[in-house]
Amino acid sequence: MTLKLGIVGCGGMGFRHMQGISEVMRHSNIAKLEAICDLHEEAANHVADEAEKNNGYRPKIYTDFDSMISESGIDILDIVTDTKTHHVFAIKAMNKGISVLTEKPMGITLKACRKMKDVQEKNNVKLAVAENYRRDPMNRLVKALIDEGAIGDLQMVIDVSVSGGGYLMHGTGWRAKKSLAGSLILEQGVHTSDLILYFMGKAKTIYAKTGVLNPIRKTSGMLNEQLKKFYGHRVEDQLDNNESQIEIDAEDTAISVIEFENGSIGQMTMSSAASGYGFGNESIHGSKGTIKLPGSRNGRSPIILRDPKNPGEPPIEITGDKLLDLVPKWELDEVTSLYFDNKKRLTSYKYDFEEIDRKLIAIEIHDLAKSIIDDSSPEVDSEVGMDALALAYGALESGESGETVNLKDIISGVTNSYQSIIDEEFNI
Ligand SMILES: NC(=O)c1ccc[n+]([C@@H]2O[C@H](COP(=O)([O-])OP(=O)(O)OC[C@H]3O[C@@H](n4cnc5c(N)ncnc54)[C@H](O)[C@@H]3O)[C@@H](O)[C@H]2O)c1
């Protein structure tokens, strides 16, 4: 069975999803690219040209979403538009019996997500969120190490990502606007949140200080050669092309403290406002040692550090294939393994960035297609997607109210002051 997939949104990430579905088609017959849609025909044409080079045929092009879902006969809608339309397109498609893969964040607010979940359940279709970082085989290995007790009982996670440069993220106008869910805390924070929850389990509360510390941003210049390949063709319709800088109102900094349901604690700090200095740390600490996380899409092995036998000696380091002794039964799941040369017990890998990127997106698409065929749940279903969004919004809600917030209250809508302005604006 080959499921037909349509992509809506042919910007930076839409281009990458086209590469992802092309990667699926190199490895499997489970899904094929049928149609693509963007408001800007030139952006859709660029993505279609590349798809034709990859797959030997041209997908149908639409500039009107409603026409695509009523005429193209797709089984899966892949939503890669900017965040404000995720729920609109998902709900329309699911009401027509079409399953949905939506880019992160799942929806623009938790209220939008709750509506998406209700429609998904009513129509008995699948709804999955494209969280690519957790699909990295190195993050799968970290998860297995934690679950096998390689660092003992979980105590804390320290995730810090600080950068400067003064650019508007990817030069995209919507990322300047709080009301378009454009803040760094949602854009980057939802990835970080998903990974933290994947490793640590559910979170109970979050407290944060947030702010817009560097409001004046350059509108261009952020794109390096790699990003230009993804974003070079996109048509910007929210920035004034004559302006070389813009004032953003979307938070660029959050310093948060998290309490998890299992009693462990964590720090999640992110900022793109640290002029002249950038650094990061991702580590998980347990009663028997620490895991230094490898980061995503670089193929590096995780590192476990344990206290030395004697004081003054360096910590004992376990990395590479030696990690496998700590997870004797661990194997990559079938779908992840398929895209990584069918290897089952990977402890590092080497591919160029574009190839890694499309492999992780291929895994997201394949996982959803398989869940449709098997009638099972996709890995990142609405509950998982909402948990990650709630943690990121938790930082913003707490930053606004000055109070510790409960994750359950964010998911249910009891705490929604920050988001309510967005809900009102978009009539959600
Ligand atoms: N998983 C990741 O690593 C990752 C990375 C970047 C972006 N994203 C997510 O992907 C989504 C898209 O981000 P992007 O950077 O590609 O943004 P973008 O602005 O480059 O692309 C959005 C595209 O959607 C199109 N669009 C908007 N409204 C439309 C409509 N009504 N009908 C048809 N097309 C429409 C725009 O014309 C544009 O081409 C966002 O939700 C973002 O958070 C995820």
Fold of 3-132+359-381: Rossmann fold (3.40.50)
Q: Which atom of ligand 1 is closest in space to residue 170's alpha carbon?
A: 15
126-140, 234-248, 310-324, 400-414, range with the lowest pLDDT: 234-248
Ligand 1 site, residue 104, Cβ cutoff 6 A = yes
Tokens of 228: 């230009």
Distance of CA 217 to the CA centre of its chain: 24
Q: Which atom of ligand 1 is closest in space to residue 174's alpha carbon?
A: 19
146-155, 186-195, 233-242, 293-302, range with the lowest pLDDT: 233-242
Tokens of 244: 């070389």
Ligand 1 site, residue 194, Cβ cutoff 6 A = no
Are 392 and 186 contacting, i.e. CB atoms less than 8 angstroms apart?
A: yes
Mean pLDDT of the chain: 97
> What pLDDT score was predicted for residue 347?
98
Are 79 and 89 contacting, i.e. CB atoms less than 8 angstroms apart?
A: yes
Ligand 1 site, residue 92, Cβ cutoff 6 A = no
Ligand 1 site, residue 192, Cβ cutoff 6 A = no
Using 50, 70 and 90 to split pLDDT, how confident is the model at 294?
very high
Q: Whose CA is nearest to atom 8 of ligand 1?
A: 13
> What pLDDT score was predicted for residue 123?
98
- The two beta strands, 3-8 and 76-79, are parallel
Distance 312 CA to ligand 1 centre (A): 52
Distance 79 CA to ligand 1 centre (A): 8
For the chain, domain boundaries: 3-132+359-381, 135-332
Are 319 and 338 contacting, i.e. CB atoms less than 8 angstroms apart?
A: no
**Position 102 pLDDT exceeds 80:** yes
The DSSP-derived string for 202-243 is -EEEEEEEEE-S--EEESSS---HHHHHHHTTPPP-SS-TT-
**Position 64 pLDDT exceeds 90:** yes
Reduced to 3 states (helix: H, G, I; strand: E, B; else coil), residue 301 is coil
Reduced to 3 states (helix: H, G, I; strand: E, B; else coil), residue 344 is coil
Are 415 and 406 contacting, i.e. CB atoms less than 8 angstroms apart?
A: yes
- The residue-averaged pLDDT of 380-404 equals 98
62-76, 162-176, 233-247, range with the lowest pLDDT: 233-247
Are 37 and 68 contacting, i.e. CB atoms less than 8 angstroms apart?
A: yes
- The residue-averaged pLDDT of 233-259 equals 91
Length reported for the chain: 428
Phi-psi domain of 347 (left: phi exceeds 0; alpha: psi -120 through 50; beta: other): alpha
Please classify residue 41 by burial: count the beta carbons closer than 10 Å to its beta carbon, then call 0-12 exposed, 13-18 middle and 19+ buried: middle
Ligand 1 site, residue 170, Cβ cutoff 6 A = yes
> What pLDDT score was predicted for residue 221?
81
Sign for the CA dihedral angle at 245, 247, 249, 254 comes to positive
Q: Taking the CB of residue 172, how many other CB atoms lie within 10 A of it?
A: 21
Ligand 1 site, residue 38, Cβ cutoff 6 A = yes
| Helical spans, DSSP H, in 265-352 | 334-339
Tens digit of pLDDT for each residue in 112-132? 999 999 999 999 999 999 999
- The two beta strands, 303-306 and 316-319, are antiparallel
**Position 243 pLDDT exceeds 90:** no
> What pLDDT score was predicted for residue 250?
95
Are 373 and 144 contacting, i.e. CB atoms less than 8 angstroms apart?
A: no
> What pLDDT score was predicted for residue 66?
98
Using 50, 70 and 90 to split pLDDT, how confident is the model at 239?
confident
Tell me the CA distances in angstroms from 306 to 154, 157, 295, 379, one per residue in order: 14, 16, 20, 32
- Give the pTM: 0.97
Are 251 and 178 contacting, i.e. CB atoms less than 8 angstroms apart?
A: yes
Could you tell me which residues come within 8 angstroms of residue 169 by beta carbon, excluding any fewer than 6 positions away?
A: 175, 182, 184, 187, 222, 272
**Position 412 pLDDT exceeds 90:** yes
- CATH code linked to domain 135-332: 3.30.360.10
Are 208 and 395 contacting, i.e. CB atoms less than 8 angstroms apart?
A: yes
Residues of the chain with pLDDT > 90, as a percent, come to 94
Ligand 1 site, residue 187, Cβ cutoff 6 A = yes
DSSP state of 315: P
Question: How many angstroms separate the CA atoms of 174 and 157, rounded?
Answer: 31
Question: How many angstroms separate the CA atoms of 407 and 397, rounded?
Answer: 10
> What pLDDT score was predicted for residue 225?
86
Tens digit of pLDDT for each residue in 354-363? 999 999 999 9
**Position 238 pLDDT exceeds 90:** no
**Position 242 pLDDT exceeds 80:** no
Using 50, 70 and 90 to split pLDDT, how confident is the model at 291?
very high
> What pLDDT score was predicted for residue 241?
72
Tens digit of pLDDT for each residue in 171-215? 899 999 999 999 999 999 999 999 999 999 999 999 999 999 999
